[in-house]
Amino acid sequence: MQRAGVFWKWCRPVWRESASVKGYDLGKKGCVMKKNRVTVPEVMAAKGKRKLTMLTAYDYPTALLVDQSNIDMILVGDSLAMVVLGHEDTLSVGMDAMIHHTLAVSRGAARSLVVGDMPFLSYHGSIEQAILNAGRFLKEGRAQAVKLEGGARVVPQVKAIVEAQIPVQGHIGLTPQSLAQFGGFKVQGKTADAARVLIDDAMALAEAGCFSIVLEGIPAPIAAMITEAVPIPTIGIGAGPHCDGQVLVIHDVLGLFERFVPKFVKQYVRLGDSIREALNRYREEVENGVFPGPEHAFSMNEEEAAKMEAPKRKKVRTAGGGR
């Protein structure tokens, strides 16, 4: 009991918001206690009441920063194939890599709802395959939900995964796993017929049990119609301002992915420039002998250092004398 009392003295729940980081106690004393995790029911209940926020993350330190920023959801997106692993598209990443990165993100995210992105061919083969792979995200990756791409064609998989007690986020519009079919990154739903298909897809996913739907690369008026038509939140990315929330790739937000910048992206900072400047300064200081300086080195007791010099001098005399 005494130890428990000491623990709660130092690790007290935070009832007020810190002035430095919202929702965190960053005082010198005590450990950090965070707000309760965002849940699927809370996300669903936000529709029509407040805007939801979502960002991608692929590792522990980034997830920690996103979590500390009170972002509602973190998507461990298959976009990691491009922005982290350097592939040309999202098709090259598999389940093992996705689970690896999801677990790292889950370690850093104590408040944000973590959503694992089911990669290409992880749910297309059979219902059983879809359930098992979705379950891996929760069991091995410690995520709270999964996301998969497609509309009416994936309704059987969505229903089965939801019936297995695994929350599912849908994704329609410009679905990157279908780039070969689309012929590239092209806006979807630009004709009346195509827009009707998207609306039907969204309604089918909602009826199948999705708790939210990502709308990507869709004209803003169509995204507004979908948002009004479905009872679950829509999360837009290149779908205009009328969605119930927004999601962006963290590398785009921070200016760390420079191969191309989509029209719908807003770069809030250009960290790539700052990082290059810092690395160039490091290289120059090492080459010129500026770093490390005295303040970066560890000292040694002079008497102990002298003891190391004596054997060295004796060894030199013995070798030089030769007799």
The catalytic residue positions are: 216
DSSP state of 150: B
Burial 92-119 (b: 16+ CB within 10 A, else e): ebebebbbebbbbbbebbbbbbbbbbbb
Q: Which residues make beta-bridge pairs with 169?
A: 147, 212
Q: How many helices (H) and strands (E) does the chain have?
A: 13, 8
Smallest CA-to-CA distance from 115 within 229, 203, 226, 235 is with 235
Q: How many other CB atoms are found less than 10 A from the CB of residue 204?
A: 19
Radius of gyration of the chain (CA): 26
Smallest CA-to-CA distance from 245 within 112, 78, 51, 96 is with 51
Please check whether residue 34 is in contact with residue 14, taking contact to mean a CB–CB distance below 8 angstroms.
yes
Q: How many other CB atoms are found less than 10 A from the CB of residue 260?
A: 9
DSSP string, 209-233: T-SEEEEES--HHHHHHHHHH-SS-
Please check whether residue 133 is in contact with residue 101, taking contact to mean a CB–CB distance below 8 angstroms.
no
- CA distances to 54, 102, 113, 128, 298 from 118, rounded to whole Å, are 17, 11, 16, 14, 49
Amino acid at 79: S
Smallest CA-to-CA distance from 231 within 45, 52, 50, 72 is with 45
